[in-house]
Amino acid sequence: MFKSKQADSEGYSTFTMLLVPVLFWFASLTKVVSGADWCYQSQVTCNHTCTGPEEWGVVSQYCSGRSQSPVNIVTRRILPDERLTPFHFTGYQEAFHGRLINNGHTVQLDLPSSIRIEGGNLVAPYKAVQLHLHWGKDGGPGSEHSIDGEQFPMEMHIVHIKEEHNNLSQAEKDRTGVAVLGFLFEESKSANKKFDPLINALKNITQPTNRTTLTGVSLEMLIPPQKNMTKYFRYDGSLTTPGCHEATVWSLFENTVPLSRNQLAAFSQLQFSNGKQMVETYRPVQPLNARQVYYSGGHVALVSTVLLIMSLLISSALSLSPSV
């Protein structure tokens, strides 16, 4: 009797062991097919209505790759690189009008392809496609990249593709097809008036698929002054949303963009498709693995040269001192 019960439970567990993987496989298959149901951690509920960052590998295999973004930048491990010269910006100072859309994951501003970047050791000229942002809750931590473990309240990505490509999906197939300029934000006491056109438009696009046209803005208004854009971090990574293609040359600027607490908090009025506040729209940092982060600031090299000369002078002074 006891024995047969045991056999029953064994039979049951064998059945479960077979069934569970099949169910998971089926679930992953439907996820791949539907494709669009990835979400941020802030949207994940106990009843798993969407696929959070830990499971993005199920949505797209590339999200489990070894060169993913964002990363935490450890400043004592960065390598100064003289080839990381200042960028040459084309059209960044020109006013344009672009579609601003709540796409269910972020707010995105479409950019005219006449906007370009060159230099900065990029392998080719790149043209702008769109910009979007990642933010926290009511001005709390919300950047994707962090520096020495510090997360900033917001991060803006200006997405460019190599000029020869027609669109982002084509550029994603090229290892250096995409160049993203990343800008970290910092809370300031006073409001940054240059952001008002964008922030004022948010109330018109609180729900996914809502769109409006932003007029009279230029990219120059949304980034630090050009003379302050010579210092940036460079590494090879991925897009930070599924499909996570490892096709992005990252340039993350050291100088931050100031916004007041109220301006930062304004982004939290946007909503996800379930009507919940669109907050904490960032992917957690990914392992750096074998990658190196480079730094454009030749100043680091200059400082170490000065230190070397000083230590030589001191040691020669010390070696002279006994004879004095």
Q: Catalytic site residues?
A: 105
Residues 154 and 142: their CA atoms lie apart, in Å, by 5
Does residue number 226 form part of the binding site for ligand NAG (CB under 6 A)? no
Site track 32-71 with ligand NAG (rule: CB under 6 A), x = hit: -------------xxx-x----------------------
Distance CA 214, CA 211 (A): 10
80 phi and psi, to 5 degrees? -60, 140
> Which tokens belong to 150?
């510090």
Rounded CA-CA distance 129/267 in Å is: 22
Which of ligand NAG, Zn ion, none is residue 157 near (CB under 5 to 8 Å by kind)? Answer: Zn ion
- Least Å from the CB of residue 285 to ligand NAG: 24
Among 201, 223, 247, 264, binds ligand NAG (CB under 6 A): 201
> What is the footprint of Zn ion within residues 208-267 (CB under 5 A)?
240
| Partner touching 184 among Zn ion, ligand NAG, none, CB below 5 to 8 Å by kind | none
Q: Which two tokens stand for residue 131?
A: 């910009």
Q: In angstroms, how far is CA 245 from the centroid of its own chain?
A: 13
The least distance separating Zn ion from the CB of residue 34, rounded to whole angstroms, comes to 22
Please tell me whether residue 157 binds Zn ion under the rule CB under 5 A.
yes
Cβ-based nearer residue to ligand NAG, 13 or 170: 170
Could you give the C-alpha distances from 248 to 2, 124, 174, in angstroms and in order?
61, 13, 9
CA distance 213 to 318: 69
Stretch that binds Zn ion, among 145-153, 154-162, 166-174, 244-252 (CB under 5 A): 154-162
Q: DSSP letter string over 6-47?
A: HHHHHHHHHHHHHHHHHHHHHHHHHHHHH---B--GGG--TT
Pick from ligand NAG, Zn ion, none: which does 224 bind, CB < 5 to 8 A by kind?
ligand NAG
Nearer to Zn ion (CB atom), residue 241 or residue 271 = 241
Q: Which of 80, 224, 297, 298 binds ligand NAG (CB under 6 A)?
A: 224
Q: Are 295 and 231 in contact (CB under 8 A)?
A: yes
Distance in Å, CB of 134 to Zn ion, minimum: 6
Considering the rule CB under 6 A, would residue 121 count as an interface residue with ligand NAG? Answer: no
Among 130, 212, 260, 269, binds ligand NAG (CB under 6 A): 212
Phi, psi of 110 (to 5 degrees): -75, 140
Minimum distance of ligand NAG from residue 125's CB (angstroms): 18
Q: Tell me the closest approach of the beta carbon of residue 190 to ligand NAG, in angstroms.
A: 12
What Å distances lie between residue 222 and 91, 95, 156, 183, 295, CA to CA?
13, 12, 9, 9, 23
> Which lies closer to ligand NAG via its Cβ, residue 101 or residue 158?
101
Measured distance CA(179)–CA(193) in Å, rounded: 28
Footprint on this chain of ligand NAG (rule: CB under 6 A): 45-47, 49, 166-167, 169-170, 201, 204, 207, 209-210, 212, 224-225, 228, 255
